[in-house]
Amino acid sequence: MRPGPFCLGYVLGALTVLLLGVGMGGLALTLAPFFSPRPVPTPVVRAASPATPTPTVASPPPAWSATPSPAPAPGGVFTPAQIVERVAPAVVQLVVGNSSGTGMVLDTAGNVLTNAHVVARATMVTVRLANGRTLSGRVVARDEDRDLAIVRVSGQALPTVRLGDSTTLRPGDDVFAIGYALNLPGEPSVSRGLVSGVREGQRTDLVYIQTDAAVNPGNSGGPLVNSRGEVVGIVTARITSDAGRLVQGVTLAIAISSARPTIDRLVSAR
């Protein structure tokens, strides 16, 4: 299996080159996996003897909807610790062979949202919860062009994330990336950053959030969360170089509002 830009799975090159204006000139940056013809390789970290998934029979899921919003703290925002406390239990690690990435539980039917390049061509994956439990998950649908996929875990009442409105984001807003970076044991890693900009995709109808929140191999498919503890993006790629020059602090996440139609369609798959 070929490693991905910061998922430890096979990276599907599905989009094209994104031009980001920097300073007074135009700078063409290499973006993997969905804008680069040559994805930047990252090391494959072997999972510690993941359990072999066994097929499960999924019952038809109910119509998907976001988890109802809890009452916000004074001022409508939470502390970073409160945000992690609310979101992390619904963030899972997805293990596919010797590679791993991140996903988020959408609903009580056990639908887990992730990137398509995290699951690659697999039909079954191992789902590791924040508390260390492992479950078998079935890949029920994927959209490779938009780099989105749904993994379903049957018969489990799992904590769920709450989706927000990414159209309200502004440059300078705080965001948090939560995921299983570098396949480190234990709880997911958390990094904080700012919204650097919002970018239009050139080959799909998706919108991408640019942030300087630090991500690493294994973060792909994880949530980008706002200060209200709502998921506003799906961490997808990191720009690492431009014409051989090192690039730092440029991470892209699929904006959740632009992804909602695709998510709805994938969740409805049987």
Residues labelled catalytic: 117, 147, 220
Q: What is the 3-state secondary structure (H, E, C) of 219-245?
A: CCCCEEECCCCCEEEEEEEEEEEECCE
Residue at token pair 């720009």? 239
Q: How many helices (H) and strands (E) does the chain have?
A: 3, 16
In sequence order, what DSSP letters do the residues of 166-183 get, joined into one string? Answer: GGG--TT-EEEEEE-GGG
For residue 168, with 0-12 CB atoms within 10 Å meaning exposed, 13-18 middle and 19 or more buried, which class applies? exposed
Take residue 10 and report the two structure tokens written for it.
């096979």
Contact 222, 133 (CB under 8 A): no
User: Strand 148-152 vs strand 207-211: parallel, antiparallel, or unpaired?
Assistant: unpaired
Single-letter residue type at 17? V
Distance (Å, whole) CA 35 – CA 15: 5
- CA 100/CA 95 separation, integer angstroms: 4
